[in-house]
Amino acid sequence: MTPAYKNLCAKLGYTFKDETLLRNALTHPSQDRSIQERGDKKVSPYERLEFLGDRVLSLLIAEWLYEIYPLENEGELAKRHASLVNRDCIAEIAEGLSIADCLQMVNAEDLRRGRVNILSDALEALIGAMYKDTSGKDGAHQLDGLRSIIAALWQPFVHRAAAPQDAKSALQEWAQGKGLPLPEYRVVNQSGPAHAPTYVVAVQVKGYEAIEAQGSSKRDAEKKAATLLWQKLVGV
């Protein structure tokens, strides 16, 4: 395994049992001498893994959104899903993994011109390879590990897309979705002159540690505190 491959696997937190799958996922069709011809068509292991990874990613992202947004309807979930599985988002994650350093291609100029598409395809192929690599002798797949990898990679993006504008409402919805009482707010401190007061407000959801924030008004401090607690609870 090359140093670039080792670095990629370290970033993923995943070790391949079948390194052939890893190589296939990172060998662009332009470089793959093992492509088999079927009549007038060519069968590319890379493209087959890309096809599989695209579907696996879509499912795991959909499942994740379903769990962390219990009060959103189908349309809202669909918008979030679309923003997380589009090529720009996938390519940005691929950049963070330095997939370009591992990708085998004939022409580096092709990568420069079509970088977003190529990197997003490569990451999908890599996901397909990890999915196949988890397959047991009976054909069953262990998805827990792959779920964790996808969640870790997409964590910085999951709440950035279509994030709620009203943090207090978002926090309330989160608590209700967990079957918990409404968040409680309390003024911890008020200081400063009457024309320019400063408020410190604490907010708490039952069973979780309270968080404080400071604002120029009670409402402002409550909003900031709600934002901080909501971000902590959903793992932003």
Residues designated as active site? 54, 124
- Which residue, 96, 138, 162, 118, is CA-closest to 27? 118
Side-by-side strand order, sheet with 198-204? 184-191, 198-204, 211-215
Residues in contact with 222: Cβ distance below 8 Å, sequence separation at least 6, in sequence order = 168, 185, 201, 203, 213, 215
> Would you state the torsion angle of the CA atoms of residues 141, 144, 150, 153, taken in this order, to the nearest 10 degrees?
-140
Residue with tokens 């190529």: 118
Answer whether 221's CB lies under 8 Å from 201's CB.
yes
Task: Compute the distance between CA of residue 122 and CA of residue 41 in angstroms, rounded to an integer.
Answer: 21
What are phi and psi for residue 129, nearest 5 degrees?
-65, -40
Helix (H) / strand (E) containing 24? helix 19-25
Task: Compute the distance between CA of residue 12 and CA of residue 87 in angstroms, rounded to an integer.
Answer: 19
